[in-house]
Amino acid sequence: MKASVFIATSLDGYIARENGDIDFLSGDASPNPDEDYGFQTFFDSVDALVMGRHSFEKVLSFGEWPYRVKPVFVLSSKHVAIPDELSDRVEVMSCSPAECCSLLAKRGMDHLYIDGGNTVQRFLQAGLIQTLIITTIPVLIGSGIPLFGSLVHDIKLKHVHTQHFDSGLVQSRYEVIA
């Protein structure tokens, strides 16, 4: 099983404001409105998304479901209501990152897209993420929900590639050194 992160952060390392707003991610109008920063290629490469409950609730608030028919697994220790129209593609799981990877591997999945700050941190701590693709937005927001958190030991990364875009966004790809 391979697991990857594709996420955007402010330059000071936040993926959302404290209240969950992600308004700063869209930034100024891009000079190239068709630029997707490699998202579609990445999305096509994954078999499923695994996201934390907070991220799921945020995506639901958009009104339009962005992940089409791709399977989405929502991690939560609580009861999470899934809208009827998503019940064929969204499932709630309550398990450790290791159990989640093992269960989904048994269901034939090879590559997972891990999303949500807290969830990414738990999978990183468990040594289950191989690739991080981080797009940095040129803005400081001062406080918010951090992408990374405390660790019990260092996680070494290998820088693979950095690309900058006319919009000012900078995207770096790292592989986790096992």
Ligand X SMILES: NC(=O)c1ccc[n+]([C@@H]2O[C@H](COP(=O)([O-])OP(=O)(O)OC[C@H]3O[C@@H](n4cnc5c(N)ncnc54)[C@H](OP(=O)(O)O)[C@@H]3O)[C@@H](O)[C@H]2O)c1
Residues that bind ligand X (CB under 6 A): 7-8, 15-16, 20, 22, 25, 51-55, 58, 75-78, 94, 96-97, 115-119, 122, 145
- Rounded to a whole number of angstroms, the minimum distance from the CB of residue 14 to ligand X is 8
Q: Which is nearer to ligand X, 20 or 38 (CB)?
A: 20
Q: Which is nearer to ligand X, 142 or 177 (CB)?
A: 142
- Rounded to a whole number of angstroms, the minimum distance from the CB of residue 19 to ligand X is 8
Which candidate, 110, 86, 150, places its Cα nearest to that of 2?
Answer: 110
Q: Which residue has the tokens 């820088």?
A: 159
- Rounded to a whole number of angstroms, the minimum distance from the CB of residue 77 to ligand X is 3
Which candidate, 45, 37, 57, 58, places its Cα nearest to that of 4?
Answer: 45
Please give the Cα distance from 51 to 62 (Å, whole number).
Answer: 16
| CA-based radius of gyration for the chain | 16
Q: Which is nearer to ligand X, 77 or 177 (CB)?
A: 77
